Amino acid sequence: MVRIASVDSGSLAEEAGIQVGDELLAVNGTEIHDYLDYMYASCQEEAELLLKDRVVTILNEDYMPLGIGFESLLIDEPRSCHNKCIFCFIDQLPRGMRETCYFKDDDYRLSFLQGNYVSLTNMTQADVDRIIRYHLPRINISVHTMSPDLRVKMLHNKRAGEVLDYLRQFTESGLLVNAQIVLCPDWNDGEELDFTLQKLGELGENIESISVVPVGMTDHREGLETLRGFDKESSHQVLNQLERWQQKFLDTLGTRLVYAGDEFYLMAELPFPDYEAYEDFPQIENGVGLCASLLWEFEQALSDTRKRRPKKKKTMATGKSVYPFMQTLIGNLEGDRIGIYPIENRFFGEKITVTGLITGQDLIAQLQGKELGEELLISSAMLRHDGDMFLDNTTLEEVEKVLGIKVRTVRNDGYELLDALLK
């Protein structure tokens, strides 16, 4: 039994007399345990809702959302991770962050609803059968390696190797799979990476994309596996290896299929591929193609306007790794009214150089007393989805108050960025 928390105004549910507080037991004979049950059962021309005190029938010939909301996204509690991965970023977090940052989710339902990546190790065959029965369109999977024994070692989970068979079941059923590989030097790189890409490619056209991203290491790895990161030379080697596989996949499958995370290009100090090389940007939310997309959109936005000189002095704060790229981008504007500050990540450690992991306290410490102009621009990726708090619990309002300046958040969108700079 699930409590209805909201009913959209003007929705089919409201017209049928559904009210906040009603308790839902089943839809079209399917008991509702989580959102997937509700979504699957209610997507019919006629939805019969069994409530605690009555039965309501809703005609829905256009297959519109019924307009019912629940107290949580999943209805059920999210599933936690059963692994102890050697590269787990959550295990490397310092104290003092938002409480939700320390929860390790590994929930296939969130993969469908929010794009999260799952390892499959806490899933059963019944879960796989349910996914296939419900005809979910795609799932994002943290593969890391297709070698069963190596996957067991990297994830520290004895089921990590055997559950790789779920990949085959998914692709054979028509489910699209986006695969992620967190690359760790001396573990799953080199020949092991070749093996993994070969095996994933053999699964057929329903492997939609593969991302390869570098392991991230903070200064808080006490008691964890000894790892080393990538440098300029080793990043260059990875990119050469992936370019060979892209060409092979293009020749055999008609798609590049595998894409490197932006960090590899930044560390290798190499230009990003052309916009078209990312095809449909299937893993842009995973940091793959963000810079190429931003550059293309920014240049398109510039071509659509005669304005190139900002009216007011403004400052941008960015991660150290992307700082040279942003300098080049802003160099397309006239004058010197836009300042850029690369922020060193003292909260996580100097090895963390991406923009999205900059904290409020690092912004304050490194920008206080600087000439910032009339507005500070930051990436919206620094804040939680609600848009008001950094990873270290510092609020946007606190940063504005200490720095004495208006802070504007900007999405990874070239049009939005140019608009923010020129306004």
Interval 327-357: pLDDT, tens? 999 998 998 899 999 999 999 999 999 999 9
- At 257-296, the pLDDT tens digits run 999 999 999 999 999 999 999 999 999 999 999 999 999 9
Contacts 24+ apart (CB under 8 A), 61-66: 64/12, 65/8, 65/11, 66/11, 66/12, 66/13, 66/18, 66/42
Residue 242 CA from chain centroid, whole number: 21
**Using the 8-state DSSP alphabet, how is residue 77 labeled?**
P
- Longest Cα separation, the chain: 69
Q: Is 66 helix (H, G, I), strand (E, B) or coil?
A: coil
On the question of a common fold for 90-287 and 295-422, the answer reads: no
Q: In whole angstroms, how large is the CA radius of gyration of the chain?
A: 24
pLDDT on residue 31: 95
d(CA 350, CA 408): 25
- Under the banding of pLDDT at 50, 70 and 90, the label for residue 423 is confident
Q: What 3-state class would DSSP assign to 23?
A: strand
The fold of the 2-70 domain, in CATH, is Pdz3 Domain (2.30.42)
Task: Give the Cα separation of 207 and 248 in Å (integer).
Answer: 15
How would residue 176 be classed by pLDDT, with cut points 50, 70 and 90?
A: very high
214 strand-pairing partners:
183
Q: Residue 262: which of 367, 380, 354, 149 has the closest Cα?
A: 354
pLDDT, mean of residues 95-101: 81
The per-type count for the chain, helices as H runs and strands as E runs, is 14, 15
pLDDT band per the 50, 70, 90 thresholds, residue 373: very high
What residues does each domain of the chain span?
Answer: 2-70, 90-287, 295-422
* Mean pLDDT value across residues 111-135: 95
pLDDT attached to residue 182? 98
Please determine, for residue 96, whether its predicted confidence score (pLDDT) is greater than 90.
no
- 295-422 topology per CATH: Rossmann fold (3.40.50)
183 φ/ψ angles, rounded to the nearest 5 degrees: -90, 125
Q: How many other C-beta atoms are found inside a 10 Å radius of the C-beta of residue 60?
A: 16
Q: What is the pLDDT of residue 142?
A: 98
How far does Cα 29 stand from its chain's mean position? 35
The CATH code that applies to domain 90-287 is 3.80.30.10
Average pLDDT (40-58) is 94
Mean pLDDT for the chain overall: 95
Is this model's pTM higher than 0.85 or not? yes
At residue 90, the pLDDT reads 94
Cβ burial, residue 401 (10 Å; 0-12/13-18/19+): exposed
